[in-house]
């Protein structure tokens, strides 16, 4: 196995597919990370933070890094420039009052990572979009724990980049089990990092 570092990142958002109990799933995930003493990065949708302020505050209180995941979770390339600016400003205003995001941002769906107009708006709002290098599509309906975990494990074991940035979500049913499997299978020698513990040039701007 390479000496790659792993950044576990979670998009905390309103579900776009059915889940048994999205809030309990988020709480279970936070419990697991705390038990394993893993610090992660959460990109929080600000309308979700409004609805579940206690969870956003817990994410901050548990020591995880927080970024913005927009307010409405609309795909930015399909929005007018004014709409993008308004979404970014609203997200910043809400999250700064709950769990400040600094300059960390993830585009909804990663859409617009190669769109100059979108990226200019994101930069103008003081953010930097961070993509990912691997994921298990935990948001897809009926994914099993292994179907989520195995692609991430295999990527980390063969990764050539210095930091493997894994994309996961706070709400799907298999995510917590998948994270436990990832941690168990990769073993104790992996270094898990928050994005602010990584040099900016090591972070992906694009999505696989």
* pLDDT of 57: 97
Percent of the chain whose predicted confidence (pLDDT) is above 90 = 88
* pLDDT of 3: 67
Given a cut of 90, is residue 200 above it in pLDDT?
A: no
**Domains of the chain (ranges plus CATH)?**
5-202 (3.20.20.370)
pLDDT band at 206 (very low <50, low <70, confident <90, very high): confident
Cα–Cα distances (Å) from 186 to 29, 103, 146, 180, 189, in that order, read 18, 30, 14, 10, 8
Q: What is the pTM of this model?
A: 0.96
**DSSP character at residue 125:** T
């Amino acid at each position: 196995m390479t000496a790659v570092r792993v950044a576990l990142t979670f998009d905390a958002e309103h579900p776009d597919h059915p889940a048994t109990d999205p809030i309990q799933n988020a709480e279970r995930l936070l419990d697991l990370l705390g038990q394993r003493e893993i610090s992660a990065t959460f990109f929080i949708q600000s309308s979700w933070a409004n609805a579940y302020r206690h969870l956003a505050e817990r994410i901050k209180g548990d020591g995880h890094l927080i970024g913005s995941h927009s307010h409405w979770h609309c795909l930015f390339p399909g929005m007018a420039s004014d709409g993008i600016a308004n979404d970014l400003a609203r997200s910043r205003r809400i999250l700064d009052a709950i769990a400040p995001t600094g300059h960390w941002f993830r585009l909804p769906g990663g859409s617009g990572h190669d769109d100059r107009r979108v990226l200019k708006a994101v930069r103008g709002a003081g953010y930097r979009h961070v993509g990912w290098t691997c994921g298990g599509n935990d948001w897809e309906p009926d994914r099993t724990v292994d179907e989520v975990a195995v692609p991430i494990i295999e990527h980390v074991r063969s990764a050539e980049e210095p930091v493997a940035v894994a994309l996961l979500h706070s709400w799907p049913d298999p995510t917590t089990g998948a994270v436990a499997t990832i941690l168990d299978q990769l073993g104790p020698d992996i270094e898990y990092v928050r994005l602010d513990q990584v040099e900016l040039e090591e972070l992906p701007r694009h999505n696989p």
